[in-house]
Amino acid sequence: MTDWDKYLKVGIGHAGELMFLCIKFESMDYKSAKFKPVDKMGDLINHDYKLLLVMSRFGLSLGFGDKTVEQVCRENGVDVPTFLAVANFIHEGNNLLEGNLSQLSVSDLMGYLKQAHGYFLDFCLPAIRQKLAEALGTSIHGEIAFLILRFFDEYVAEVRRHMEYEDTNVFTYVSNLLEGKPLGNYTISIFARRHNQIELKLVELKNIILKYYPERGNNNLLNAALFDIFSCEEDLASHCKVEDFLFVPVVRLLEKQKGVV
C-alpha cells in the first residue's frame, strides 16, 4: 500500500468541540446587524452573493425588484427575523447572535435546513461528482482517478447518513415538539452532543487532488471541479454552524417553553 493509499484511508476525527455561543437576550433590534428589514433585497445579494442560497432555501425567488427584505419575506410568508438571523449569521461568519431567540420561527428555520439538505444531496454534490468524473475521465492515471471518485462517493454516503439522521430523528422530534405530540426520551441536547462537522473529509479530498494528482496539460476542468469543492466545503461548514449556533439554541428555548427540560 502506498503512502497515498494510506492517506486515502485516513479517517477524520469528528469530535468537533462546540464553541460557546454568545447570545444577547434583550430584543430583536438590528442596530449592530449588517442587514436590516428595510434594506433592499437586491443590495443584500449584491453585498454577499452567498445569500442567494439563503434566499432560495427560504423559498424566496428572484424578481424582487426594489422591494425591501421585509416586503419580500412578508409577501412569501417567510418570517423576517428568522431570514435576517440566518443572513446576518452567514454573512458575518461568526458565532455571535444578537437578538431575542424567542422571536425566531423554529419551523421556518427547520424548513431552511431541510431545503439545504436537498440542495447538497440532490444538486450540489452530484454536480461536483459529474465535473470531477469529467475532469478525471481523460486522465492517464486511471487508478488514481478511480480512487478519487471512490473517496468522493464514500464522502457523499457519509453526508447522506448525517443529513438523513437529522431529517428523520431531529426534525421529526422538533415537529412533534411544535405540535405538542409525545416525544419519547429525545432532546435537542442529544443531537448537539453527537453533531459533527461534515465538511472535513471534503477538505481532505481537495488536498489529495491539490497535493498528489499528477496533472498534465489543460487544467480547466479540474480547476472548475476544485472551485466547486471549495465553495461546497464553505457552504457545508456554515450549514453546520447554523445548526449548532442558531437551531439548537432556538429549539432549547422551545423545550423550556414546552416544559420538556
Contact residues for Fe ion, defined by CB under 5 A: 166, 243
CB of 1 to Fe ion, least distance (A): 32
Give the shortest CB-196-to-Fe ion separation in angstroms.
8
Using the Cα atoms of residue 239, residue 243, residue 247 and residue 249 in order, give the sign of their dihedral: negative
Q: Provide the minimum distance between the beta carbon of 252 and Fe ion in the complex, in angstroms, as a whole number.
A: 16
In angstroms, what is the minimal distance from the CB of 257 to Fe ion? 23
Q: Which is nearer to Fe ion, 228 or 243 (CB)?
A: 243
Q: Identify the bridge partners of residue 98 per DSSP, sorted by sequence position.
A: 24
Of the candidates 85, 126, 109, the one whose C-alpha atom is nearest the C-alpha of residue 166 is 109
Compute how many other C-beta atoms are within 10 angstroms of the C-beta atom of residue 195: 21
Q: How far is the CB of 188 from Fe ion (least distance, A)?
A: 12
Is 222 within 8 Å of 215 (Cβ atoms)?
yes
Whether 188 and 166 have beta carbons less than 8 Å apart is answered as no
Select 79 or 166, whichever has its Cβ closest to Fe ion. Answer: 166
Give the number of other CB atoms < 10 A from CB of residue 15: 7
Q: What is the DSSP letter of 48?
A: -
Closer to Fe ion at the Cβ: 55 or 116? 116
Which is nearer to Fe ion, 108 or 166 (by Cβ)?
A: 166
- The amino acid occupying position 90 is I
Q: Which is nearer to Fe ion, 166 or 228 (CB)?
A: 166
Q: What is the largest CA-CA distance in the chain?
A: 64
